[in-house]
Structure 1
Amino acid sequence: MKNKKLGINTICTHVGETPDLQFKGAVSPMYMSSSYEFMDVDVKRYPRYFNTPNQEYLAKKIAALEHAEAAMIFGSGMAAISTVLFAFLKAGDHVVVQNDIYGGTRNLIEKHFEDYNIAFTFTKDLEISSFKACIQPNTKLIYIETPSNPLLKLVDIEAVATLAKSENIVSVIDNTFASPIVQNPVDFGIDIVLHSATKYFGGHSDICAGAVATTQEYIDTIWKTGIAFGGSLSDYTVWLLERSMKTLAIRVKAQQRNAKKLAKFLNTHSAVEKVYYPGLKSHENHELAKKQMKGYGAMLSFELKENIDAALFLKALQLIKPSMSLAGIESTMLLPSKTSHSLLTAEAREEQGIKDGLIRFSVGIESKTDLIEDIEQALKQVLHA
Structure 2
Amino acid sequence: MKKALIFGVSGQDGAYLAQLLLNKGYFVCGTSRDAQISSFQNLVHLGIREQVSLQSVALNDFRSVLHVLNKIRPDEVYNLAGHSSVGISFEQPVETFESLTIGTLNILEAIRFVNQPIKFYNAASSECFGDTQGKAADETTPFRPRSPYAVAKASAFWHVANYREAYGLFACSGILFNHESPLRPERFVIQKIISAACRIAKGSQEKLYLGNISIQCDWGWAPEYVKAMYLMLQQEQPDDYVIATGESQKLEDFVAAAFAYVGLDWREHVVIDASLFRPLDIAISRGNPAKARIKLGWQAQYKLTDNDVVRMMMQAQARPLNSNGTEMYAKEKVKYSGLATAF
Q: Would the TM-score normalized by the shorter structure come out above 0.5?
A: no
TM-score for the superposition, normalised by structure 1: 0.29
